[in-house]
Amino acid sequence: MNHRIAIVIFAAGRIASAAAAQQAPFDTAGIEKATDAKGTWIAVEGVFKVSLPRTDLSVVAEGVKLTPPMGLTSWASFRKSGGRAIVMGDVVVTEDRVAPAMDAALKNGLEATALHNHFAGETPRIMFMHVSGMGDVLRLADAVGNVFAASRAAPGGAPATAAIDPATSVLDAAALDRALGAKGDYSNGVYKIVVGRRARMHGETLGSAMGVNTWAAMAGTMDRASVDGDFVMKEAELQPVLKTLRKAGIRIVAIHNHMIGEEPRLVFLHYWGIGPATSLAAGVRSAIALTSSPS
């Protein structure tokens, strides 16, 4: 090999390695191993996010089969904070696994910051537990792994039947883009949009990848679809959003916090609805317009 070419290749390799190191300020492979979940580096926020789709669960809500993109995915996001790391996460648990999952969080140095439902009338009953923590990144990852493991035992019994199933969805993504005024992702039978905001907690600026976001997921047909999702709002925005969603025939499932000591104070709202897809999308869009400020 030409000596000059070899030097160029070597230098390019060093630059690529340096870039990779800059993109991954901690041991991402170690995080994946500790959590037993695959992760993604989100460079724009400096966040490494692991996700655990609950494909082991068969959940039906009011005749709608729920899949991981519709909110049945546990996740945890890690971000460097000085010489330490901060983690925030949301864990999907059946009712019978709430106590073991919470014990695993508290015994391993994590804070449980919220526990609530996201759906209405689902079988089996599903709860969501939000966790956070600061410290050594691999210690945090090990703690998250223990929580994920404690949440995984699936309940017994035959699965409920579903009239709306993402496997048979026939949605017009372009029409939904227009109805929502945003570009969504349509894959595995689920159309989904995510709108991020910003907040500060523990002196850190947190964004969409750390869970500060509004999202909507739809499945079914344009004539009859389901929508579920999560709104993040300032306290003053809550009542207008509630009125707008209810006017659109969308049910409110839960109102709660996901964080502790954040600035500004944020409220999270989970919602659920069944109806014509464009009508549901228009209702969600009107509510999002009330929360359009970036922070």
For residue 8, what pLDDT is reported? 42
pLDDT at 265: 93
The answer on 170 and 103 residing in a single domain is no
Final residue in a domain of this structure, among 123, 151, 179: 151
Give the whole-angstrom CA distance, residue 9 versus residue 86: 37
103 and 216 fall within a common domain: no
Q: 3-state DSSP helix/strand/coil percent for the chain, to nearest 5?
A: 35, 35, 30
Q: Report d(CA 27, CA 84) in Å as an integer.
A: 13
* The last residue of a domain, from among 94, 117, 151: 151
Residue 2 lies in a domain: no
Examine residue 104 and state whether it is found in any structural domain, yes or no. yes
Q: Is residue 22 in some structural domain?
A: no
Q: Is residue 13 part of a domain?
A: no
Distance of alpha carbon 50 from alpha carbon 147, whole angstroms: 13
Q: State residue 83's pLDDT score.
A: 86
Write the CB contacts of 75 (distance below 8 Å, at least 6 apart in sequence). 49, 50, 51, 52, 89, 90, 211
Asked whether the predicted pLDDT for residue 13 surpasses 90, the reply is no
pLDDT given for residue 17 in this prediction: 37
Q: Which domain holds residue 273?
A: 166-289
Co-location of 35 and 146 in the same domain: yes
Q: Strand order in 84-94's β-sheet?
A: 38-42, 47-53, 73-81, 84-94, 126-135, 111-116
Q: Is residue 209 part of a domain?
A: yes
pLDDT digits (tens, 9 = 90+) for 266-294: 999 999 999 999 999 999 999 999 997 65
Specify whether 47 is located in the same domain as 133.
Answer: yes
Chain segment 41-81, per-residue pLDDT in tens: 999 999 999 999 999 999 999 999 999 999 999 999 999 98
Whether 134 maps to a domain, the answer reads yes
Rg of the chain over all Cα atoms, to the nearest angstrom: 20
pLDDT band, residue 211 (cuts 50/70/90): very high
Considering the domain architecture, whether residues 206 and 144 belong to the same structural domain is answered as no
Do residue 89 and residue 189 come from a single domain?
Answer: no
Based on the structure, what is the number of domains in the chain?
A: 2
Of 119, 151, 183, which one is at a domain's C-terminal end? 151
Whether residue 144 is found in the same domain as residue 33: yes
| Domain identity same for 119 and 224 | no
Percent of the chain with pLDDT over 70: 88
Residues 129 and 229 in one domain: no
pLDDT at residue 6 greater than cutoff 50: no
| Closest alpha carbon to 62 in 288, 283, 282, 274 | 274
Question: Is residue 5 in a domain?
Answer: no
For residues 106 and 197, membership in a common domain is answered with no
For residue 282, count CB atoms less than 10 angstroms from its CB and return exposed for 0-12, middle for 13-18, buried for 19 or more: middle
Task: Tell me, yes or no, whether 217 and 277 share the same domain.
Answer: yes
Q: Is residue 19 part of a domain?
A: no
Tokens representing residue 195 in the block: 């709108």
In the predicted structure, residue 237 carries a pLDDT above the cut 50: yes
Residues 243 and 282 in one domain: yes
d(C-alpha 295, C-alpha 284), whole Å: 19
Is the per-residue pLDDT at 16 higher than 90?
Answer: no
Asked whether residue 209 carries a pLDDT value surpassing 70, the answer given is yes
